[in-house]
């Protein structure tokens, strides 16, 4: 794999979300092979930072009544706009290190169709990062004082995996991430957990919707498409069929 694409959608670049999202985007642009990055959605500041950092920008995405981008529209656009066959969706508060790209290249070389997932580390956001040489090593060392990785916020796959009849989930709310894993497993697409070899850092920030609202908004859709939450626990990559080990082996769990 000589290159891959990343698509993402952002919150308005105001307050803490301005430097959190800039940190994330800058980290993506350090990856090798160099990524094709497109930011989708006309949220305040997204077009400006796309121009400043040298990534692509696409304004038009369908939105839910709450204003959040619709999952089906975002993922359809992300795959249509991607310049490369292998694509990733990343939440715009995630800092990724080179081991993310290395893992993606390895998984893509071993499977025709796949879904790459994994957990992230949670750290407090402390302003703009300095991306001078050595920044990745420094960040890795600082993670030793934090708790174990958790949650599920990044997805790598081959373009065309998610195209038909995607549910109209609101991004930023519960359930859409569970659907990606559930749908792949139902279609017997290999799901690969790379948590043990990949360093992805979630920069903590305030939630932009109440906990109850984030839980309720997508539940009706979740039930309508028949997702069995007992079978796939949200944010639990341990249920993936395959796991990427530090020695490069992709091991079957069951």
C-alpha 146/C-alpha 223 separation (Å) is 35
Does 213 or 239 have the greater pLDDT score? Answer: 239
pLDDT of residue 222: 58
* pLDDT value at 212 more than 60: no
28: containing domain = 5-252
Q: Would you say residue 148 has pLDDT above 80? A: no
Q: In this model, does residue 205 exceed pLDDT 60?
A: yes
Q: Assess whether pLDDT exceeds 60 at residue 232.
A: no
Prediction pTM value: 0.90
The predicted structure's pLDDT at residue 230: 47
Token pair of 252, please?
């079957």
**Alpha carbon distance 156, 99 (integer Å):** 13
pLDDT in tens, 93-142: 999 999 999 999 999 999 999 999 998 888 887 889 999 999 999 888 88
DSSP assignment of the chain, as one string? ----EEEE----S-THHHHHHHHHHHHHTT-SSPPEEEEES--TTHHHHHHHHT-EEE----B-TTSPBBHHHHHHHHHHH-SSSEEEEE-TTEEE-HHHHHHHHHHHHH-SS-EEE--BEEEE--S----STTHHHHHHHHGGGS---B---EEEEETTSS-SS---PBTTSSSHHHHHHHHHHHTT--EEE-TTT--EEEEE---SS-HHHHHHTTHHHHHHTT--TTTS-TT-GGGSSEEE-TTS-EEE--
State the residue for tokens 């997805």: 155
What is the reported pLDDT for 228? 54
Q: What is the mean pLDDT of residues 228-250?
A: 77
Q: Please report the pLDDT score of residue 130 as a whole number.
A: 92
Report the percent of the chain where pLDDT is more than 90: 63
Number of domain units in the chain: 1
Instruction: Return the CATH number at 209.
Output: 3.90.550.10
Task: Please list, in sequence order, all residues whose beta carbon lies within 8 angstroms of the beta carbon of residue 116, skipping any fewer than 6 positions away.
Answer: 88, 103, 104, 107, 154, 155, 156, 157, 192, 194
- pLDDT, tens digit (0-9, with 9 covering 90-100), for 55-95: 999 999 999 888 899 999 999 999 999 999 999 999 999 99
Q: How confident is the model at residue 172 (pLDDT cuts 50, 70, 90)?
A: confident
pLDDT at 207: 66
What is the pLDDT confidence band of residue 239, given thresholds at 50, 70 and 90? confident
Please name which of 50, 24, 53, 11 lies closest in space to residue 125, comparing C-alpha atoms.
Answer: 24
């Amino acid at each position: 794999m000589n290159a891959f694409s990343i698509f993402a959608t952002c919150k308005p670049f105001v307050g803490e979300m301005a430097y959190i999202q800039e940190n994330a985007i800058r980290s993506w642009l350090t990856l090798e092979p160099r990524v094709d990055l497109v930011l989708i959605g006309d949220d305040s500041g997204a077009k400006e930072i796309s121009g400043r950092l040298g990534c692509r920008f696409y304004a038009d995405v369908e939105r839910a009544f709450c204003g959040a981008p619709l999952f089906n529209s975002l993922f359809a656009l992300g795959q249509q706009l991607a310049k490369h066959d292998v694509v990733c969706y990343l939440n715009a508060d995630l800092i990724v290190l080179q081991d993310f790209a290395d893992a993606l290249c390895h998984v893509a070389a071993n499977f025709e169709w796949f879904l790459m997932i994994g957990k992230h580390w949670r750290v407090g956001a402390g302003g703009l990062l300095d991306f001078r040489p050595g920044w990745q090593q420094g960040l890795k060392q600082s993670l030793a004082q934090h708790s174990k990785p958790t949650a599920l916020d990044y997805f790598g796959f081959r373009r065309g995996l998610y195209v038909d009849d995607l549910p109209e989930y609101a991004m930023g709310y519960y359930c859409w991430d569970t659907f990606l894993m559930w749908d792949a497993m139902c279609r017997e697409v290999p799901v690969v957990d790379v948590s043990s070899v990949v360093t992805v850092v979630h920069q903590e920030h305030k939630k932009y919707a109440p906990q109850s609202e984030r839980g309720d908004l997508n539940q009706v859709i979740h039930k309508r498409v028949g997702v069995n939450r007992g079978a796939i626990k949200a944010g639990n990559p341990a249920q993936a069929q395959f796991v990427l080990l530090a020695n490069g082996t992709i091991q079957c769990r069951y």
